[in-house]
Every structure is written in C-alpha cells, then in structure tokens.
Structure 1
Amino acid sequence: MTAEPTFSDLFRLAERSAVHLEMRDSYMQSDPSYQAWRAGERDRVEDNDPAVRTWLRLMSETMERGVRVRRARICSVPESDYVRFEHHVTDANVRAGEEVRWLPRRRASDLAMPGNDFWVFDDQLVVFLHFGGDGELSPDGDEERATCTALVRMCSSAFEAVWERAVPHSEYKLS
C-alpha cells in the first residue's frame, strides 16, 4: 500500500495551482515566530530567509515549476494581533512567489463558504484544515482530504469569490 503524500508533497505534486482560503483571526499562538513578534522582534532571519524557513523554500520551488500559489485571508477589522503578525511576515511569502490578498470580514457576509480553512490543489483535491478554538491544530486530526468533484468545485468557487473582492497584499493597509 502506497503512503498518502505529505502536505509538503502535495505542493511538489501540484502541476498548475494551489489556492488557500484562511478565515480565522488567530492561529497557532504557540508558534515561536509569533511569540518573538509579540515580544517586539521584527524581520527575523527565521521568518524571512528561504534557507531557514522551510515554507518559503517550498513556495519558491513550487513557483519555479510554474505552479501558481494564491492565498486569500478573510479577517476582522480592526485586525487581531495574530493577523497583524501575518501581515508583517507576508512580505517574505510574496517574495517567495505566493500571491496574497486580504478581505475584511464585513465584505464577505454575502459569500457562501465552507466551515473550515482549506487548500485546493489543481482543482482536484481539497484539504480542509482543522483548528481548535484556541487556534492550535486540532488534536483530533488537523486535516481532511477530499476529491469529490462537487466539494472541490464548491471550495474553488468560494476561493475565487473571495479572491475577486480581496485587496492585494501590497495595497492592504492595517487599520
């Protein structure tokens, strides 16, 4: 039996696209980068250098293969401390090749969306991410994968609706 691809492998296997919709105002507050940012440390090598931050290296490699990676974030305004941290470190994501947009939650009220954050790979696979109320990954399993065409289409459609309204990272100003 073949092992299921890891989450990182999904990017390496992607041929055309990977899109991500984030809808929470707080994630992983235990993250050392977030803790350092809250303590006043800005522009750390750990957050900005692809040689150190594995995610940035993975995004660069993915983009170099011609895969388009887009991330849309729905956030409350005024923004939470965590969203402010995300906004700060997103410049490095953009330099690595990700396209990132922000949508104030009030502008999303009439959009239909799934109940969980997700990634869609090549319009064929959706990966739902599960978090506890505290923003930490769920101890009951942090992801759920599905290939059901209707579900993938629903998530892709929700992402595109948000993407169309959202503000590019370079233009989004925190309140």
Structure 2
Amino acid sequence: MRRSLNAGTDFSALLKSVRRSSWRWECQREYAVDLPEVERWRKGLSVLETEEDRAWLAHLGVLKAAGIPFERVRMLTEPLTDYLAWMLQAIGPNVAAGEDVRWLKESTARELGMPHHDFYLLDETSVAELRFTEENVLTAVVVDDDTAVVAEHQRWRRAAWSAAIPHAELRIGR
C-alpha cells in the first residue's frame, strides 16, 4: 500500500508506530525548518531549543527506553554547507538522547549509488520516502507492500551504514 502523509500529526503518528527499528537517510544540503537556527549560529548567537526539538528528544528517549534503535546517516556535502557545519555542532543533544548518528561524504554516497531523496526505513518493513515542495513543505510517501522498494531501501541502508563514520569518530575541517 502507498499512502501520502503531510508533515505534522500523521507523520508523527507514523514515527511513533515503530516497534523494532528506525533508520533515516538525509542527503539535502539544508533543511528549511532549521534555517533560523543556522542564521543564529552564523551570528555567533546561542542555540534556542524549540518545542519541536524537545518533542524529538523526548521521542528518542522513549525509543531508547524501549530498546528500539534510531539510527541516522547524514550526507556531508563537498564542500560543506553552512547548514551541515552547524549541524555537526548542534547534533550533540540527539546523540546524548540515544540517536546513533553517522556521516557519509557526498562522493562516497554517489559511489554507493545512494538516492537523492531522504527516507526512513521503519521496522525494516516500511519505507517513508520524504519529499520537499518548492515551499519546503515536507510530505512523505509511505510504502509497505512493495517488497522490491523495501529491499532497495534496505540495500541502501546497509551500504550507507557500513561506510559511514560514527559521529564521535568524525574529524572534519572546513
């Protein structure tokens, strides 16, 4: 079955429905939702924790308490965008909350044939392909009945995960 979800309640419910594992591939140069914080960072101002940030950290805590891993691989553009330079510094609370974050150079991602779209692989059986409109509105297409689509995303997960560098081991200069 394929179904479309808009960001918000439906997508939040999808992420909360996970029972065994969550895995995310992120490959965009930046995400509009965080751009105000990136601008604060550029100006040398302190990071403001938003209600959305607190909700996400609480979600990670629930997953960790239930023994459900949340893993993420973020692609590092070459050259590094300001957004990703900011994210390298801002990801600490997620890692502390139990998220296993790893990083993959853009050139390596292309060698591995990684997709140009973000996605979640949920419980190894469902894929949420993330799309961003021209207005930077997040939508998702959820696929959980097409074994070929799920298998392709599982293959991408294995390839990216094995090549990615754990956050604690990443050393990068700008």
Please state which band the TM-score falls in when normalised by the shorter chain. Answer: 0.7 to 0.9
How far is 1:33 from its partner?
Answer: 2.4
Partner residue of 2:169? 171
Q: Structure 2: how far apart are the matches of 1:98 and 1:127?
A: 19
Query: Are 2:38 and 2:82, in contact at CA under 8 Å, matched by a contact in 1?
Result: no
5+ long unaligned stretches in structure 2: none
Q: In the TM superposition, what is the alpha-carbon distance from 1:18 to its structure 2 partner?
A: 0.3
Q: Alignment partner for residue 144 of structure 1, among 119, 141, 150?
A: 141
Deviations 1:44-82 (A, max 9, x none): 3516xx996211111111121111100001122331000
**Separation (CA, whole Å) in 2 of partners of 1:63 and 1:19:** 14
Higher helix share: 2
| Corresponding residue for residue 100 of structure 2 | 99
In structure 2, the residue matched to 1:90 is 91
Structure 1: runs of 5+ lacking an equivalent: none
| Matched AA of 2:43 | A
TM-score by length of 2: 0.83
The residue aligned with 1:26 is: 30
Relative to its length, the structure with more strand (as a share) is: 2
The letter for the 2-side match of 1:19 is: W
Deviations, residues 22-57 of structure 1 (Å, cap 9, x unaligned): 111211166432332222223x3516xx99621111
Contact 2:127–2:142 (CA under 8 A) maintained in structure 1: yes
- With over 3 angstroms needed to count, the CA separation of the structure-2 counterparts of 1:87 and 1:30, relative to structure 1, is closer
Q: Greater shift after overlay, 92-101 or 50-59?
A: 50-59
Output the CA distance in 1 between the equivalents of 2:161 and 2:141: 23
- 1:46 is matched with 49
The correspondence for 1:12, drawn from 11, 16, 19, is: 16
Distance 1:157 1:51 in 2: 31
Return structure 1 stretches of 4+ with deviation > 6 angstroms.
none
**CA distance in structure 2 between the aligned counterparts of 1:36 and 1:95, rounded to whole angstroms:** 22
How does the TM-score come out when normalised to structure 1?
A: 0.83
RMSD over aligned Cα atoms: 2.4
The one-letter amino acid of 2:14's match is L
- 1 or 2 for the larger relative contact order (CA 8 Å, sep ≥6)? 2
Q: Answer yes or no: is the 8 Å Cα contact 1:17–1:68 preserved in 2.
A: yes
